[in-house]
Amino acid sequence: DADSEKVSSILTDLSGLSADSAVVIHPTQEQIAEYGLADPYLTVALAYKDADSKRYDVGFRCSAVNEDGVAYLMKDGVDVIYQISTQTALSWYTYTYKDVVSVMNILPYINDVSSVELVLGGKTYLFEMSGEDDELVVTCDGQTLDTDIFRKLYQLLLSIKNNENLEEPVDASALTSLGSLTYNYKNGSRPSDRLDFYEYSARQFYLAYNGDIEFLSLVSHLDTIQDAVDKTLAGEDFKVI
């Protein structure tokens, strides 16, 4: 999921973007390459709808910044090379995927979920859910759970977050698994979402989202979840901090 605050900042900057000047009109392929746009530093594709729900698609490519702090761009469908400064570009130029990805990985609405499978501490817990809102019923291994307590556990599961971004993806094949968390959905056409936990250090663990390990998270949170699971199964209330 994307970080809504950072994405909003990018969209605001893009909506107000204007070039400093037009450098080349009807450029040749050689000029496009000369200005760093044959193999651009980045590309932007933006789709939006107006008040009448009419869709608009906007795209452009942008060069790397030169020693003068200047970059060049071409808008899709416009045969002109424009010049912009990095101060004009602001967030959309400097942000990367890891900057805008949400610290919260998966936030499924509880009414959309048919079951939650948690593997932790060498045990597998399958929480099966039926009904919605005040009619929600949750069972685990044949035991009907206190719904209010389970909602607190569910909130705790949703709070598993990225504590640190990794520079490069990690191969899980040689790692030791600490467990996993899988959300299965009532809509059969919607694929399950899964978080995997792998050993990294005494303080942190590798966190994988649907198979991709790109983050670290805190081991202490897994300890908190384990304690909450034990209390949920015992019917004991607890606080979510």
DSSP notation for 5-47: HHHHHHHHHHHT---SEEEEES--HHHHHHTT-SS-SEEEEEE
pLDDT at 62: 87
pTM of the model: 0.62
pLDDT at 91: 54
User: Which residues of the chain are modeled with pLDDT < 70?
Assistant: 1-18, 48, 86-105
Cα 187-192-194 angle, rounded to 5 deg: 155
pLDDT at 68: 81
pLDDT at 95: 60
pLDDT at 138: 97
pLDDT at 60: 83
Residue 82: CB atoms within 10 A of its CB come to 21
